[in-house]
Amino acid sequence: MSNYPLSYKLSWLPRFLKPSLSGDQQGFAPAAAATMEPPPARAVRLAFVGDISAVANRSAPHCDPLIVALLASADLVVGNCESPVVERPSAAMGTKLGTHHAMTERFLAEALAAAGISHEKLVLSLANNHVLDQGVEGFDETVAALDRLGIRSIGIAADGPVQRLAVGPLTIGFAAFTLWRNAGAAVFAGRVSMQGDPTKWPRDAADGADLICAVPHWDWEFRHFPQAATRALARHLAAQGVGLIAGHHAHVVQPMERIGKALVAYGLGDFLGTAFARQPWPGRIGGILTVDISADVGTRGAVAAYRLHPFMRLRAGDHERLVPVEVLEGALGQKVVARLDAVFGNGI
């Protein structure tokens, strides 16, 4: 049914229990940089968050005011809707065990309110491996629920490989796709975008867009450094004119890379509860990526500055508490800073 290789399946539990720092660590970029001097007179700010789910939560999270203010500063927030939005899971046993994802419309609305994310400024990708965890009916229910909430969706196959959205004075084309699926190819076909090769897109797919932003669900889970094939795909996307890439699926933070003028964030970790409630601490580190896009004549659509803002998901009874890394204290704070230094280098 799924398209995971056997070696990947066998490594899932060991890497979940102990996320890996192995792999190629060369050629990555700082976690923050101003890439345009002087800065543009006009710019649009995008904020990217990681996977969103209710698996490890029974109630909405508590978000530190600094995180709420950071997300409020963005003109558009982009995330991955890792759980189908359904009122009653059809895969009841799998959902109870945590192998199948689900969240209610009410939970999603309350979680967004807690994070200070307004629905009209939010875009959620449905191109991920869990989107059909509650069957075709669950997929259709998810699309309808997001539409009722006024949240725009990307990654739906029927909408084409690129969805063009107006963000202030700019038009940004979002290309969301998944390389992984938990169900058969026939079930995904025609519903979820798995088209990550721009050379196979229609010729007019990017017409009118000031910037093409890819939102891929790629790479292997619980590895801090991306696989060689993932980095090769990033280079291919950049060579075809994709200027910004914000990836998901690893469930841990991964480094940044500059490929020419393109910016790549390989993985932002989880924004909200997409593993088990007692997840080991490295998997509870997440990142919010802010990217300023120039709206000036001559540099329109170019990345002007970016910064990764790390945070931690702490357990608090039946929900999570999201806090910036800088407020952590004691042994946990030291471990988290050391892990971030290992992934991004000093200075994050």
Encode pLDDT of 259-298 as tens digits: 999 999 999 999 998 767 788 999 999 999 999 999 999 9
Whether pLDDT at 253 is above 70: yes
For residue 65, how many other CB atoms are within 10 A of its CB? 9
Give 10's contacts (C-beta < 8 A, 6+ positions apart).
Answer: none
Give 44's contacts (C-beta < 8 A, 6+ positions apart).
Answer: 75, 76, 167, 168, 169, 170, 172, 292, 293, 295
Predicted confidence at residue 274, as pLDDT, reads 77
- Helices 65-72 and 105-115: crossing angle in degrees, nearest 10, is 90
Name the band, by pLDDT with cuts 50, 70 and 90, for residue 58: confident
pTM here is 0.97
Mean pLDDT of 98-127: 95
Whether pLDDT at 1 is above 80: no
Predicted confidence at residue 91, as pLDDT, reads 84
Mean pLDDT of 104-124: 97
Name the band, by pLDDT with cuts 50, 70 and 90, for residue 347: low
DSSP 230-253: HHHHHHHHHHTT--EEE-BSSSSB
Mean pLDDT of 172-199: 96
Rounded to an integer, what is the distance from CA 231 to the centroid of its chain? Answer: 17
State which H helix or E strand residue 330 sits in: helix 330-344
User: Cα angle vertex 4, ends 2, 241, to 5°?
Assistant: 100
* Rounded Cα distance, 71 and 54, in Å: 20
Name the band, by pLDDT with cuts 50, 70 and 90, for residue 16: very high
Name the band, by pLDDT with cuts 50, 70 and 90, for residue 195: very high
Encode pLDDT of 299-338 as tens digits: 999 999 999 999 999 998 889 999 999 999 999 999 999 9
User: Are the C-beta atoms of 112 and 163 separated by less than 8 Å?
Assistant: no
Mean pLDDT of 127-137: 96
